[in-house]
Amino acid sequence: MYKVLFLDIDGTILKPDYSYDSSTKEAIAKAKANGVEVFLATGKPFYEIKSLATELNITSFISFNGAYATMNGKELFKRPFKKELVEHYLRLANENGHEIGLYTDHRSEYTDLYASSVQKFTKALHMTENAQLNPNDIPPALGVTLMGVNTEEELEPYLIDPSVRLSQVNVYGTEDCYDLIRQDVNKGIGVEHVLKELGLNKDQAIAFGDGMNDKEMLQAVGHSFAMANANPELFQYAKYKTTSVEDSGIAKGLEKLGVI
């Protein structure tokens, strides 16, 4: 019955200390052995998840919050931000004293690589391919994160475009960081592309997540799980609630469905 599984990484597979349970790796292996195609579905750039993917023997990905997807080496789609939209948010960040991270297809570029908010973000998410952004040469961006926003009042200037929503990063130490999620490019749209590619319906798909950037993904599948450690606002979008990332949440969810 179940043919494809979409897994968020931080807070879903990976614990706060960046380790994962052996039960998680075993559950993924069992699902694959039972004919389930497994995707890592993350806000992170593709190049930052390669080592984890190798460890878990996963070769299919939705990355950059749904802007890029590959399946077993085949590129399915690639949707960068419009340059005008990126420039708009860069101007807003500069006017309001915040930082921005732009994720290209080969590295991450930041408005101030050494700003405290950027340093905290890159450390918390173990980002390694980092560079200083040249404001005179804005690269095509597949993902965008706003950093250093400490209050709701500071967030208000960024809430004026209905085609973009801000999703607070659900990783300890990055509470002042927000991913820009496009209405027409997100993990849910990515899942829909994959299901179409595979000729599957949503009831054959499972997803696990913990952050608000997972909202659309959980809505796009028939069987969705929010981790117990998820942002509380996410629970309303999930069909099921599983245990936390530190208590074999993925394995217990897959057991509940009889996948493993």
CA distance 47 to 238: 28
Which pLDDT belongs to residue 172?
87
**Residue, of 171 and 33, whose pLDDT is higher:** 33
Which pLDDT belongs to residue 37?
97
Which pLDDT belongs to residue 129?
96
- What percent of the chain is predicted at pLDDT more than 90? 97
Tokens 């991270």 locate to: 101
- CATH 3.40.50.1000 region(s) of the chain? 4-78+185-257
> Which CATH entry fits the domain spanning 83-182: 3.40.50.300, 2.40.10.340, 1.50.10.10, 3.30.1240.10?
3.30.1240.10
Confidence of residue 236 (pLDDT cuts 50, 70, 90): very high
Average pLDDT value over all residues in the chain: 96
Q: Mean per-residue pLDDT for 91-116?
A: 97
Classified by CATH at the fold level, domain 4-78+185-257 comes out as Rossmann fold (3.40.50)
Is residue 42's pLDDT more than 90?
Answer: yes
Does the pTM exceed 0.85? yes
Is residue 32's pLDDT more than 90?
Answer: yes
Is residue 38's pLDDT more than 90?
Answer: yes
What is the helix (H) or strand (E) element at residue 51, kind and residue range?
helix 50-56
Confidence of residue 108 (pLDDT cuts 50, 70, 90): very high
Chain segment 160-192, per-residue pLDDT in tens: 899 999 999 988 889 999 999 999 999 999 999
Chain segment 117-157, per-residue pLDDT in tens: 999 999 999 999 999 999 999 999 999 999 999 999 999 99
Q: Mean per-residue pLDDT for 81-93?
A: 97
- CATH 3.30.1240.10 region(s) of the chain? 83-182
Put residue 199 in one of left, alpha, beta given phi > 0 → left and psi -120 to 50 → alpha: left
Which pLDDT belongs to residue 58?
98
DSSP string, the chain: ---EEEE--BTTTB-TTS---HHHHHHHHHHHHTT-EEEEE-SS-GGGSHHHHHHHT--EEEEGGGTEEEETTEEEEE-PPPHHHHHHHHHHHHHHT-EEEEE-SS-EEES-TTSHHHHHHHHHTT--SEEE--TTSPPP-SEEEEE---SHHHHGGG---TTEEEEE--STT-TT-EEEEETTBSHHHHHHHHHHHHT--GGGEEEEE-SGGGHHHHHHSSEEEE-TTS-GGGGGG-SEE---GGGTHHHHHHHHHT--
Q: Mean per-residue pLDDT for 196-203?
A: 96
